[in-house]
Amino acid sequence: MMQLLGMDVKEKINSISKSFPMVQNKLSKREASGASADALKRKLASQSQTINQMKKELDTKISKIKGLKDDLKQIESQVKMQKKNNQSKEDARRASMYAQTYKNMDPEKAGAIFSQMDSKVAAKYLDMLDNKTKAHILENIPADKAAAITPLLNPKPETNQSANQG
C-alpha cells in the first residue's frame, strides 16, 4: 500500500479514524462503495458478455429463419408448378377424350354441337382432329360459324396415309 517515510499511511488513517466515529463511517462507506463498484463492474462485464452471446445466437437464428423462408418459397414454387403441370395433363387428357369422341361421332351431330360452341373452343377441339375429320365436321356447321372457326384452326400436316386415301 501507500508508504510514506516508512509508515503505512492507510493504516495510520484507519487507526486515527477509529477515534473519530464520523470519519470511520465515511471511510467504511467509501471502502464499501469501492467494493460495491468492483462487484457492479464485474456484474456489468458478465451481463455484457451474456448479451453479446445472445446477439450471436439471435443472428444465427435469424439466418436460419431466412434460409427456411427461402426453402419454403422454393417448395411453394415447385408445388405450384406441379399443380399447373398436373392441371395441364388433366386438360390435355380431357381434350383428347373429347376429340376422340367427336372423331367417332356422326359428322352431322358433331357439326350441330360445334355450332353451339364458342368459336375459339370449337377451333381448339377441331385442331385435335385429323384434317379429314375436321373437314367432315366443318361441312355440317352453318357457313357463318364455320367461317368464324376456320381462321382459328392450326394447319395439320398431311400424313402419307391420309394423302393416299384422299
Residue 97 lies in a domain: no
54 by DSSP, 3-state: which?
Answer: helix
pLDDT tens per residue across span 64-86: 999 999 999 999 999 999 999 99
Assess contact for 129 and 162: CB atoms under 8 A.
no
Residue 165 lies in a domain: no
Q: How many independent structural domains does the chain possess?
A: 2
45 and 81, same domain (yes or no): yes
Residue 163 lies in a domain: no
- Helix or strand run (H / E) with residue 152: none
Q: What average pLDDT score do residues 121-138 get?
A: 91
Q: How confident is the model at residue 136 (pLDDT cuts 50, 70, 90)?
A: very high
33 and 74, same domain (yes or no): yes
As given in the structure block, the three cell numbers for residue 65 are: 429463419
Residue 51 lies in a domain: yes
Q: Domain range spanning residue 40? A: 29-85
Assess contact for 163 and 136: CB atoms under 8 A.
no
